[in-house]
Structure 1
Amino acid sequence: MSERYEVRVLTDLEFASPNGKSLLLDLYLPIGAEGPVPVIVWLHGGGWRIGDRKLGPDLKVRFAERGYAMASIEYRLSSEAIFPAQIYDVKAAIRWLRSVANEYGLDSKHIGLWGSSAGGHLAALAGTTGSGRLEDLELGNWESLSDVQAVVDGYGPTDFLQMEEYSNSTAASSDDLESVRFNSVQRHTDPDSPESQLLGAPIQTVPHLVREANPITYIDENVPPFLILHGLSDTAVPVHQSELLYRALIENGNEAALCLIEGLGHAFFNKNDLDELPLQVTLRKAEAGEPEQIESSKKRIFELVESFFRKHLFEN
């Protein structure tokens, strides 16, 4: 689809207020698009402890001007509340968006999640748990569902207890907005690692919480389609984390694709110039009941993401 829309941006919309803290989102709406329009929820990165809804790509371009409503949301950081507060907030935002669908011209039956790093973890977790699990209905709009129809997980952690063993300490560090604010030599098992801070204790001391936070724990044969992307030079989150999730999804008969990208480090979705040149990728994908396909080629990454959402939010 080549049509481009002007975009109206509605900022500072409150979708929940846990313990009196106002949680806000910004909504990007394509002007003149034949409604209702599908929604993509952007979940920022930052190790669950830094960042806000302004951290990420230009959501007018990615992808409001292509006919999607884009919602960039806040969630409570680990310094404010430990897990599972973050996934509660994500699901509260999804329910709120469904509750206001008629007001803003949104297609409540076609909502996708797109997350970066910690946001990728939360997108995967929301996608695999669906409605009713890891959910705090007291945050509002309890009559609306929090299931989604498509998930894009950008380099999100999956199983915290397997991160240190597979850490990529030899790759060149990234210069992106998220990585420069982390101590790249920090061990994932340290008490002050992002994963330990999220759970409120060193991860090796709370395996039950690690399991609860692991998207794979909840996978059955009814998970929405997933596109998982990871840079092969990522020093913050091991590529193995995305491989674990991909294998679990396809082994349970779900549609999933894993895109491994040469030369990219962590948090590449924050780079608006990412698609200036196509990049070498290995794309593995499988659909229910079909054998896995493996393809090596050059692709533009944002284009790949948009085509995935188009298939599952517009065409399905």
Structure 2
Amino acid sequence: MYFTKVSALQNILKDTSYSINSTFKKYVKVFPKIKVVKTKKFNNVSQTENIVYKKLNYRNLALDAFINKDKNNPAVILIHGGGWKSGNKSHMHNLAKNIATKGYSCFAIEYRLADEAKYPKGIYDVKSAIKFIKLNAKRFHTDSSKVAILGASSGAQMATLVGTTNNNIKFEEEANNVVSASVKAIINLDGILAFKHPDSKEGKMASLWLGGSFRDKPRIWKEASPLFHTNKNTPPILFINSQFKRFHAGRDDVIKILDNYAIYSQVETIPNSPHTFWLFQPYFNDTLKFITQFLNQKFKAN
């Protein structure tokens, strides 16, 4: 296989309202001590951006790879947030690089947002990216049997849905038996587990992505909720949460199901933090610590 880079001439109109800068301006008024995480370069990590993993009829989808120079690393796929409508893969670069330096191959991926394509297209894209990474495991220094998926906010809802629908071909755009899109671990950074739930406050943004309100599309709202796919085949999950209860909707219900099947789950709370704590100091270091400890436990423990 070979990698194709996205053409510089390829332009897709995207909603850019959600960015690190706009989020900082929003939260610094309430959390005056926050600082944007500084970008670092690590000698043991290579970085390659805009590798095409999926070709659509009208454009390509790409990922950015951050590869530890060791061989046979576990892989971590990172999904950005932005209310299913905005954001981009660069928002996950700092987290990807810092995880990679600990002995992982990390991939920040692009996927189709709500203005371009409704649910479940974005889920199809994530599963396609997982398959692409597994098929190119040797080039990416990756152990294809050790893959985790990590998402932030709306990306966390997507990551958890991807993980709870392991081997469910209904959530794959192209079904093939060459390689599986399954993952062995899920990391959820403040993402909901159920769209319709007493704790959930999802409305306009969810309706845009899901193609209608709960009243109009009750089956889709349920189908897109990871809670209703959690079962004995669900992989271990790490939840890292802010103090805002609305972003935990369905989490405790999921944990009860996991407990019934003796599946490992872990909850860590970043106190007194903005919802997007993974983008800022002084919260980034603790977030990274929780993630790498969980990954090491699942993939590197003897």
Question: Do they fold alike, i.e. is TM over 0.5?
Answer: yes
Measured against aligned partners, the alpha-carbon deviations of 1:75-98 in whole angstroms (never above 9, x if no partner) come to 100111111111111100000000
Could you tell me which runs of 5 or more consecutive residues in structure 2 were left unpaired when the two chains were aligned: 1-41
Partner of 1:195: 206
1:308 Cα offset (Å): 0.2
Letter in 2 for 1:204: R
Q: Is the CA contact 2:157–2:193 (under 8 Å) kept in the aligned structure 1?
A: yes
Measured against aligned partners, the alpha-carbon deviations of 1:128-154 in whole angstroms (never above 9, x if no partner) come to 11023343343x875110111111011
Aligned counterparts of 2:52 and 2:176: Cα–Cα separation in 1: 13
Partner of 1:266: 275
Report SS of the residue matched to 2:163.
helix
Partner of 1:222: 233
Partner of 2:300: 314
Partner of 2:180: 145
Partner of 2:199: 166
TM-score (norm 1): 0.77
Aligned counterparts of 1:76 and 1:225: Cα–Cα separation in 2: 27
Measured against aligned partners, the alpha-carbon deviations of 1:269-291 in whole angstroms (never above 9, x if no partner) come to 12254246xxxxxxxxxxxxxxx
Indicate yes or no: 2:187 matched with 1:132: no
Letter in 2 for 1:315: A
Indicate yes or no: 2:56 matched with 1:18: yes
Partner of 1:81: 117
Could you tell me which runs of 5 or more consecutive residues in structure 1 were left unpaired when the two chains were aligned: 168-186, 277-299
> Is the deviation greater in 205-214 or in 264-273?
264-273
Q: Is the CA contact 1:5–1:66 (under 8 Å) kept in the aligned structure 2?
A: no
Aligned length: 261
1:5 Cα offset (Å): 5.2
Percent of matched pairs sharing the same residue: 25
Aligned counterparts of 1:260 and 1:249: Cα–Cα separation in 2: 19
What is the 5 A alignment of 1:1-316? Answer: 6-31=44-69, 33=70, 35-56=71-92, 58-59=94-95, 61-138=97-174, 143-162=178-197, 165-166=198-199, 188-189=202-203, 193-233=204-244, 237-275=246-284, 300-315=286-301
Q: Is the CA contact 2:74–2:299 (under 8 Å) kept in the aligned structure 1?
A: yes
Aligned counterparts of 1:247 and 1:270: Cα–Cα separation in 2: 30
1:17 Cα offset (Å): 2.0
Aligned counterparts of 1:134 and 1:118: Cα–Cα separation in 2: 21
Aligned counterparts of 2:177 and 2:206: Cα–Cα separation in 1: 29
Report SS of the residue matched to 1:96.
helix
Letter in 2 for 1:153: N
1:52 Cα offset (Å): 0.8
TM-score (norm 2): 0.80
Letter in 1 for 2:202: H
Distance 1:15 1:201, change over 3 A: same
1:24 Cα offset (Å): 0.3
Aligned counterparts of 2:271 and 2:95: Cα–Cα separation in 1: 25
Aligned counterparts of 1:143 and 1:99: Cα–Cα separation in 2: 9
Displaced runs of 4+ in structure 1, greater than 6 A?
A: none
Q: Is the CA contact 1:195–1:203 (under 8 Å) kept in the aligned structure 2?
A: no
Aligned counterparts of 1:127 and 1:5: Cα–Cα separation in 2: 32
Q: Is the CA contact 1:57–1:269 (under 8 Å) kept in the aligned structure 2?
A: no
> Is the deviation greater in 213-222 or in 147-156?
213-222
